[in-house]
């Protein structure tokens, strides 16, 4: 049984992961998820924030860098959806990194799936 399903959001193929699936906590887990996304021809993988471990949010561990690089290497974008405001407020390095990647196109953090969808909506001024 898979923890993911494929949807199309404003013309973009998106693989949405279930909140209760396996944690995205290692390069190996990232490789597995990227492989699944490529197999489904997904352009973006949406991972609920609760599937990321504390090590991901502690930038000194390098876990976030390894995982996001794995997605970038294979040309699959990553969107983390969920409320991480408390973590960001408690860690200036994490806050800076989240802000930086949110200005790019490869990795996004969105508080809700609706906010993620709005970012993909090319008709919306806020997605530009």
The tens digit of pLDDT for each residue in 88-115 reads 999 999 999 999 999 999 999 999 999 9
Burial group, residue 111, by CB count within 10 angstroms (0-12, 13-18, 19+): middle
Q: What ranges do the domains of the chain cover? A: 4-120
What whole-number distance in Å separates Cα of residue 74 and Cα of residue 82?
24
Architecture of the domain delimited by 4-120 = 2-Layer Sandwich (3.30)
Instruction: Give one word for 87, left, alpha or beta, with left for phi > 0 and alpha for psi -120 to 50.
Output: alpha
50 Cβ contact partners less than 8 Å away, ≥ 6 residues apart: 19, 82
Rounded Cα distance between 71 and 33, Å, is: 9
SS3 content of the chain, % helix, strand, coil (to 5): 50, 20, 30
- Token output for 20: 């209760």
Q: 118 with 127: CB under 8 angstroms?
A: yes
Write down the pLDDT at residue 122. Answer: 65
- State which residues of the chain have pLDDT below 70: 1-2, 122-128
Query: The dihedral of CA 4, 18, 82, 113: what is its sign?
Result: positive
């Amino acid at each position: 049984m898979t923890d993911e399903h494929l949807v199309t959001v404003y013309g973009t193929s998106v693989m949405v992961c279930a909140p209760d699936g396996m944690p995205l906590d290692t390069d190996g887990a990232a490789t597995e998820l990227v492989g699944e996304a490529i197999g489904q021809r997904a352009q973006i993988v949406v991972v609920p924030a609760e599937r990321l471990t504390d090590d991901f949010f502690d930038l000194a561990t390098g876990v976030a860098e390894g995982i996001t690089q794995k997605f970038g290497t294979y040309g699959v974008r990553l969107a983390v959806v969920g409320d991480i405001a408390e973590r960001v407020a408690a860690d200036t390095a994490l806050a800076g990194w989240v802000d930086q990647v949110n200005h790019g196109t490869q990795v996004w953090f969105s508080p809700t799936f609706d906010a993620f969808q709005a970012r993909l909506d090319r008709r919306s001024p806020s997605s530009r």
